[in-house]
Amino acid sequence: MILERLVLENFRQFKGRQEIVFAEPGDGQNVTVIHAGNGFGKTTLLNAIRWVLHGHEALTEDFEKPERILHEGVAAKARNPEMVEASVELTFHHEGDRYVATRILSLQQQRANANKSKLSLTIVRDGQSFSEPSPQEKLRKIIPTGIRDFLFFNGENIDHFAMQEKADAVKDAIRQMLGLKLLDNTIEDLLGPKVRKVFEDALKEETSDEKAELIERQEDAENQLGKLQSDLKQIIANIEASTAAIRDVENQLAANQEAAELQARRTHIQKEKDDLVERKIEIERKLSRLIAEDGFTLFANELVRRGQEIMAELRSEGKVPAKVLKEYLQELLDRRVCICQRDLADHTPHRAAVEAKWASGKDQAFNNNVSKLDHAIGLIDGVAQKTATYLEDLNRQRLETSIRIHEIDGELNEIHGKIGKKHSNSVKELEGKRTEHSLRRDAEIAAKGGKEKEIESAEVEIQAIEARIEQIAETEEQAIIARERVKAVKDCAEVLKKIRDAETNDLRPMLSKMISDHCAKIINRKYTAVLRSDFTLGVTKNVSQLDGTDEEMDVAKNTALRQSLSLVFISSLVYLASERKKIPTIMKNVSGEDYPVVMDSPFGALDDHYCSRVAKWIPALAKQVVILVSSKQYAGPVQKALEEEDRVGRNYYLSYAGPTLSNDMDMHTVINGRKYKIYETSKEEITKIQEVKE
Amino acid sequence: MQTETQTMPKSTAKVSSAPDSANLTEAKRIFRDAPKHYQDLIKKIMEKEREVMHMARREDIHLDLCEIIRKNIPAKS
């Protein structure tokens, strides 16, 4: 979506018909700047765009009196409330088509229910116009609700995107913008009660009693599995929440002078412990496998020894291997001549003697088996020795790891005790909170293990039922088809899950890297920004440790840093969404788009360094940028950066007229060295959009 | 009609480059490994899902998906 033109008519203080033409990406001058003093209408303009796209529900919290959309003066003088209207018209292009969205609210409707405005959407394609029958749905398709707040936002209120409580919104926006949400929806729909169940019911109708019963059992088991998985999801979410809470508390402790050193040490050894725990799990996994596969060899020593003795005895008696093979005796009988040249004709005593030898003789297979037995006994002996050595080694590793974990636990307890005894009440309180969160997380981790085991059992049960169903011969044709359909639903959902996981695994680190690169450019090279696996944003910096090494630590984010980080995140997301088109994917459906970024007062909390960086880099990352800004915020580093990059394609300012003007208000503003009148007396309140003359 | 340009940002402002396509073949590989008739079915299902993706109400999607599956695996007459 690239914005072309916004036309307001009697929308709040924007009396009459007024318009803004936006700078478009083509020649690199992709920034539209709208200069306005406080209270002149910046937030109203932002909300006009949000309102035309998504209606009343999209208005921001700071948009006061949302039930009064129509210009108050116009409304007051209206004779026929049906004929007086406020409207916003937005022209934009998207995927090669031009769209004109118009939202209208009559005074009559405003009085009845301002939430119910009238929306129309015209699509212009190849010079022809079409009216979209479902305009709201179409607009939601172009700008999904979940990403609206990341594209059209009040810059003074965006720092929360970098905070834990917004993690879900961030996660949702990323998934929507990258097309992963489509996969989520599809999987959920396929496996939900209205698709899979429909075909399973059909299968039940078409199938034998025995199979019907099995299918019913399978259904119950799958429902149970679904419930267990949902429980597990909740447990994981709880663990993540506790982890984030611990991290927050630890950040605060790290920022506290009294606890900083101990906290740094705790972070360091906790990381070492986490690695060791992971290593111990791996060692135990290897141990389990070794015991399951080769453990028996350790108890086979006596058997191996006895086997070797028996074989030696048989060898010494000449019983193994067989010296004269049955095959050779048969050959002699067939030739009717013995090896000693005696005649072996029928009914002769010599033939009878050879036949008796043949009957008790051994064939080549016997000798082969003797060799195999020798080999197997030798092998077991060898494996037993290797198993014993490997087992000893693994046990030693497990013991060493356990000892070190135990030592670390001791040190962690010690640190906990020391921090808890600090004089500062705030430190004590933080440590107390940390303990609470840790206990909660430990309980959830224990619950997670139990739940995973239950899930494993449920999966085994389902597999067994499925295998039994497969075994039952299917004769009825309709039942075969019904079964195929059920299988197709499940298999397709499974493929989609794998695709979704693969795409998520590929895209998250990519976005994380972009955020990190852009953070280095916009914020500071000392900091590293990451998008963690739980999709929360983090900023870390290298802190020198007592032992001379560097340790990455979370930065306790201040407002300016959070705001800058949020801007980095938004622009990285928009940039990746645009680049997403270039990434090969399974089909066109999962693709990204170009999006504009409309920012109201984004520079308020930023110092000169951040202002300059944000002004330089955001227009480089987003295809189109609209900045609503006060002249005071604009003058200086923002203007300098935008001019150096030659980014500004369109320049407007808002002028205000009202019945009561503040005495200390400056009647003029200076933009690009020219003076413009922005303030005058009028009987009614009116904001006018004026283009800055070059 | 105005056409959308795909011009990249100004050269002075270098940004992270687009990811190498070779790194992103896993999802494609999974899709290609699926049986051909599942690939067709998935494509049709996804097309239908995309149509309704951002709708506030998506009641009919389930009926549509069932219909796609029935057509893809038809009953013998």
Chain B residues within 8 A of A181 when measuring between CB atoms = 53
Structure tokens at A451: 């739940």
B25 has a pLDDT exceeding 80: no
- Is B11 contained in some domain? no
Mapping DSSP onto H, E and C, the string for A114-150 reads CCCCEEEEEEEECCEEEECCCHHHHHHHHCCHHHHHH
3-state secondary structure of A401: helix
3-state secondary structure of A589: coil
Structure tokens at A182: 């489509």
Chain A residues within 8 A of B55 when measuring between CB atoms = 134, 137, 140-141
Cα separation, A647 vs A649, whole angstroms: 6
Structural domain ending residue among the three candidates A373, A405, A437: A405
Structural domain ending residue among the three candidates A405, A420, A447: A405
- Is B17 contained in some domain? no
pLDDT at A113: 94
**Helix intervals (H) in A70-208:** 72-77, 107-113, 135-142, 145-151, 167-177, 180-191, 196-205
Q: Which residue of B has its CA nearest to A509?
A: B19
Work out the minimum CA distance from A108 to partner chain B, whole angstroms. 27
Q: Which residue of A has its CA nearest to B28?
A: A586
Q: How many domains does chain B have?
A: 1
Write the CATH number for A13: 3.40.50.300
Structural domain ending residue among the three candidates A351, A372, A405: A405
Chain A residues within 8 A of B53 when measuring between CB atoms = 141, 144, 181-182, 185
ipTM above threshold 0.90:
no
**A348 lies within 8 A of chain B by CB:** no
B7 has a pLDDT exceeding 50: no
- Is A116 contained in some domain? yes
Enclosing domain of residue A50: 2-26+40-143+647-691
- Is A457 contained in some domain? no
Q: Which residue has the tokens 């609206």?
A: A148
**Cross-chain residue pair B4–A514, CB shorter than 8 Å:** no
Chain B residues within 8 A of A617 when measuring between CB atoms = 13, 15
**Cross-chain residue pair B62–A491, CB shorter than 8 Å:** no
Closest by Cα among A574, A579, A651, A561 to A617: A574
Enclosing domain of residue B50: 28-72
pLDDT at A578: 77
pLDDT at A39: 84
**B71 lies within 8 A of chain A by CB:** no
Q: Region B42-51: what's the mean pLDDT?
A: 89
The answer to whether A300 touches A307, Cβ cutoff 8 Å, is no
Cα separation, A335 vs A279, whole angstroms: 71
B77 has a pLDDT exceeding 80: no
Closest by Cα among A165, A186, A189 to A175: A186
Q: How many domains does chain A have?
A: 2
- Is B18 contained in some domain? no
- Show the low-confidence residues of chain A (pLDDT under 70): 160-166, 473-476, 524-525, 534-535, 541-558, 581-592, 694
**Cross-chain residue pair B16–A4, CB shorter than 8 Å:** no
- Is A472 contained in some domain? no
